[in-house]
Amino acid sequence: MKKRIIVGITGASGPIYGIRLMEVFSRIPSIETHLVLSDSAGITMSLESPGWTPARLKALAHHSHSPADLAAPISSGSFKTHGMVVIPCSMKTLGNIAHSTGGDLLCRAADVALKERRRLILVPRETPLHLIHLRNMAAVTEAGAIIAPPAPAFYHQPKTIQDLIDHTIGKVLDLLEIEHDLFQRWGSSRKSRVAK
Ligand SMILES: Cc1cc2nc3c(=O)[nH]c(=O)nc-3n(C[C@H](O)[C@H](O)[C@H](O)COP(=O)(O)O)c2cc1C
């Protein structure tokens, strides 16, 4: 059985992170993706990644769901998944997940991941952070989610923006226990090219 992974992409800056994750997943045959793209993500995509459209991105997914479709399979805990990634995660969606509002499919699916004790990885994009942002991050962490900010490392000597993006995507794949070779690990001298 394939690993089902839900990918939520919200209207925080950096839709390229979600795009890159979907590109990488689309090349791993053992993964089945369920994509939820918020309406605001369509706006940031047109502003920040003009070569991409929601339609082009959805073509990379096995299943794409409208955020309004609260009857989609991923709305129920009985639909088994390996986990969910929200990348990038806006402060609005972070707040909705922290307060369990379940107002759209993306937040409902995240709520389901938490209640079923499945892996939920949030990649928040905002800076600086005020106390409510930090409290929301603490709340979701207490409920079992993992906050994984797109904070670039430099030990692998990145040369391009793509190297920086791939470092963040590689960290997300590590958290999902999916093999990859998107960046050179500290202490290793060789790339083995699993998913690139
Ligand atoms: C160009 C642009 C960049 C934005 N960047 C951020 C950001 O980095 N973080 C954030 O929380 N919101 C950001 N926003 C605001 C969100 O898009 C807005 O709060 C939206 O309502 C989020 O909705 P969603 O979580 O349903 O996608 C940005 C908006 C635009 C237009």
Per-residue model confidence as pLDDT tens digits over 117-174: 999 999 999 999 999 999 999 999 999 999 999 999 998 899 999 999 999 999 999 9
Specify if 196 maps to a domain: no
Type of residue at 147: I
Q: Does a structural domain hold residue 190? A: no
- Measured from the Cα of 40, ligand 1's closest atom is 27
- Proportion of the chain above pLDDT 70, given as a percent: 96
Where do the H-state alpha helices sit in 99-180?
Answer: 105-115, 131-142, 161-175
85 Cα: distance to centroid of ligand 1 (angstroms): 17
* CA distances (Å), origin 24, targets 15, 131, 166: 14, 34, 10
Nearest CA to ligand 1 atom 13: 12
Residue 119 domain flag: yes
Closest-CA residue, ligand 1 atom 3, reads 13
Structural domain contains residue 188: no
Q: How far is the CA of 104 from the centre of ligand 1 (A)?
A: 16
Q: Which atom of ligand 1 is nearest to the CA of 44?
A: 1
Count of the separate structural domains present in the chain: 1
Would you say residue 185 lies in a domain? no
Q: Choose the residue to mutate in 13, 46, 101, 106 for probing ligand 1, maximizing ligand atoms within 8 Å of C-beta.
A: 13
Residue with tokens 């390229």: 16
Q: What angle do CA 55, 118, 67 make, to 5 degrees?
A: 30
Contacts of 175 (CB under 8 A, 6+ apart): 119, 121, 146, 148
Of 100, 187, 89, the closest CA to residue 143 belongs to 100
CA of 95 to the centre of ligand 1 (A): 12
Q: pLDDT value at position 196?
A: 54
The alpha carbon of 128 and the centre of ligand 1 are apart by a number of angstroms equal to: 14
Burial of 190 (0-12, 13-18, 19+ CB in 10 A): exposed
* Token pair 């993992």: residue: 146
In a domain, 189, yes or no: no
Mean residue pLDDT across the chain: 95
Ligand 1 pocket (Cβ < 6 Å) reads 10-13, 38, 40-41, 43-44, 47, 90-93, 125-126
Q: What is the CATH number of the domain that holds 126?
A: 3.40.50.1950
The answer to the question of residue 16 being in a domain is yes
- Full domain range(s) for residue 53: 3-175
* pLDDT(187) > 90: no
Flag whether pLDDT at 192 surpasses 80: no
Query: What digits encode the pLDDT tens for the residues 20-61?
Result: 999 999 999 999 999 999 999 999 999 999 999 999 999 999
Residue 195 lies in a domain: no
In this predicted model, what pLDDT tens digit does every residue of 67-105 receive, in sequence order? 999 999 999 999 999 999 999 999 999 999 999 998 899
Cα separation, 178 vs 52, in Å, equals 26
